[in-house]
Structure 1
Amino acid sequence: MQRFTNKTVLITGGTSGMGFATARRLLDEGAYVVLTGRDKARLDAAVDRLGAVEGRVLAVAADAGSLTDTDALMRRTETWRGTLDAVFANAGVGVFKPTAEITEDDFDHVVDVNFKGVFFTVQKALRLMPQGGAVVINASWTLYRGLPVASVYSASKAAVHNLARTLGSDLAPRGIRVNSVSPGYIDTPMWRAANTDPGDEARNSAEVALGTLGHPDDIAAAVAFLASDDAAYITGQDLIVDGGLVGSVPVPVEG
């Protein structure tokens, strides 16, 4: 499929995991991709792995929680391509601690990136987006079930889930669709960093009806759909990509 031929897509937090997989998917479908990350070395490495196909990747070192960085990102995007056809607001961080141990710095860091960063990324991208553009926000399965060490993380994801619905209404007169994707347990560097016990993968997989962790490519496929014309009549929705974690009870393993 070449659903993104000559289209320009911004992907924040694209150096690894779901953002990187989405960049690779959209490049394969013909897109020009603006890729961001906070760490320039990791960003450069990601571009090397993508191969910078025919000069179709612009890498911009930017912190999603910094409005100064976001303004500079939009200026560079405008200089490079003029407009943006789609945005995947993917950059996110997690602090996973019991609620009693959360500090103000933890709170500010998570909210700055996961909520403020998403809001202003979309807001500042709007002036570059023509009629018929698309925004996809990376939310989380934790909207739907409580996770004991994820109070601030889950709340920040609930905020952007609601943002997708309200922006879906707010931007409809401009023909800009806004949806969110809610990944379940996806085997990413962030998941690995938060799950260091050797038994964590087996335990998490046992909670999933399909019996396994998801892969970043699973999310990339969902984002590509929502950002494409195949989803032209879909806005204000959340697509859960979780192998049945939220909505299905796994079959007990006989032992």
Structure 2
Amino acid sequence: MGKLQGKVAVITGGSTGIGLATAQLFVNEGAYIFITGRRQKELDEAAETIGSNVTAVQGDVANLTDLDRLYEIVAKRGRIDIIFANAGFGAFASLDGMTEEHFDGLFNTNVKGALFTVQKALPLLNDGASIILTGSVASVKGTPGFWVYAATKAAVRSFVRAWTVELKDRRIRSNVLSPGPTETPAVDQQPADAIARIVSTIPMGRMGTPEEIAKAALFLASDDSSFVTGIELFVDGGRAQV
């Protein structure tokens, strides 16, 4: 019996990186999962990689109509036990180079998207369910050019503090999973010198892997964390801790 045997999970941003690694692990542990992504080709490839017990639904979490369509499909399973609101992205921009488009893009996906991913799932969420939001070590570190992204992840942290109290009567646990720099396609698209500077500040001397982050997500999703709620779990090689 896996740790998630018989559970139903929704993972946004599940077509690559941390989301895909988590989806694979959840299925291996017995869950049926729904994954989302904006690009159909990558989403189809992810579903093929996972192989079984998965439904892929194309959509953008910043688009509320797409979220409604997602949950219409999920509703056919009757319930949700785990929400992993993982969809998001990061981008660099200096203060004097900041644009409205840069700001709105980050907040629409990382903050608005996470909020409504959870809100629209509430009617389907089982009592005792687990909500996991993807945060970031960036929210507690001052990184030049990366501070709008950091602000979106600080907002996510604030959500979980309040939801822990607001949803307590339903025994729904809410937690933040905050990775450090991780070897994903999204990180590969960032400026190499900026990533090198960040990696140089990690006590363990390397980036994490999606599989390492997925194991922490499994902990927060499973009964192993039955007395854990309202926390921010850093999986960052020590970057936020020293």
TM-score category, normalised to shorter length: over 0.9
Asked if 1:182 corresponds to 2:178, the answer is yes
Aligned to 2:218: 224
Q: Is 2:238 the partner of 1:244? A: yes
> Which residue number in structure 2 is paired with residue 252 of structure 1?
none
What secondary structure is seen at the aligned counterpart in 2 of 1:48? helix
**Cross-structure match for 1:21:** 21
**Residue equivalent to 1:141:** 137
What SS does structure 2 have at the residue aligned with 1:93?
A: coil
- The one-letter code sitting in structure 2 at the alignment partner of 1:32 is Y
Q: Which residue of the partner structure matches residue 71 of structure 1? A: 68
Matched-pair contact (CA < 8 Å) for 1:204–1:213? no
2: CA distance, partners of 1:72 / 1:117: 14
CA distance in 1, matches of 2:11, 2:87: 8
SS of residue in 2 equivalent to 1:18: helix
1:133 is paired with a residue whose SS is strand
1:163 and 1:204 map into 2 onto residues whose CA distance is 26
Within 5 Å, which residues of 2 pair with 1:104-253? Answer: 104-197=100-193, 200-201=195-196, 203-248=197-242
Structure 1 vs Structure 2: percent identity of aligned residues? 41
- Contact 2:140 / 2:150 at 8 angstroms: preserved in 1? no
1:8 aligns with 2:5: no
Q: Secondary structure at the match of 2:161?
A: helix
Residue-by-residue CA offset, 1:180-224 (whole Å, 9 max, x unaligned): 011111111111111334x944x4433111111100111100111
Task: Look up the SS of the partner of 1:235 in the other structure.
Answer: coil
Q: Which runs of 4+ in 1 moved over 6 A?
A: none
* Cα deviation, residue 95, structure 1: 2.1
How many residue pairs align between the two structures?
A: 242
The 2-side partners of 1:91 and 1:75 are apart by: 19
> Would you say the 8 A contact 1:12–1:36 is kept in 2?
yes
SS in 1 for 2:126: coil
Question: What are the superposed Cα offsets for residues 85-118 of structure 1, whole Å, 9 maximum, x if unpaired?
Answer: 0000000022211122121111111111100000
Contact 2:88 2:110 in 1 (8 A): yes
Amino acid across the alignment from 1:150: F
**Change beyond 3 A, Cα 1:104–1:204:** closer
Distance of 1:104 and 1:206 partners within structure 2: 31
The one of 55, 75, 82 aligned to 1:58: 55
Provide the C-alpha distance between the structure 2 equivalents of 1:220 and 1:40, rounded to a whole number of angstroms. 23
CA contact (8 A) 1:99 1:151 kept: no
What is the RMSD computed on CA atoms of the aligned residues? 1.3
Give me the whole-angstrom Cα distance separating, in 2, the residues matched to 1:200 and 1:85. 35
User: Structure 1 length normalisation: TM-score?
Assistant: 0.92
Structure 2 letter corresponding to 1:227: A
Rounded to whole Å, the distance in 1 between the matches of 2:143 and 2:199 is: 16
**What TM-score comes out, normalization by structure 2 length?**
0.97
CA distance in 1 between partners of 2:241 and 2:4 (Å): 32
The one-letter amino acid paired with 2:63 is S
Q: Distance in 2 between matches of 1:247 and 1:195?
A: 25
Distance in 2 (alpha carbons) for counterparts of 1:147 and 1:204: 8
Q: Quick one: distance in 1 between partners of 2:212 and 2:46?
A: 19
**3-state SS in 2 of match to 1:71:** helix
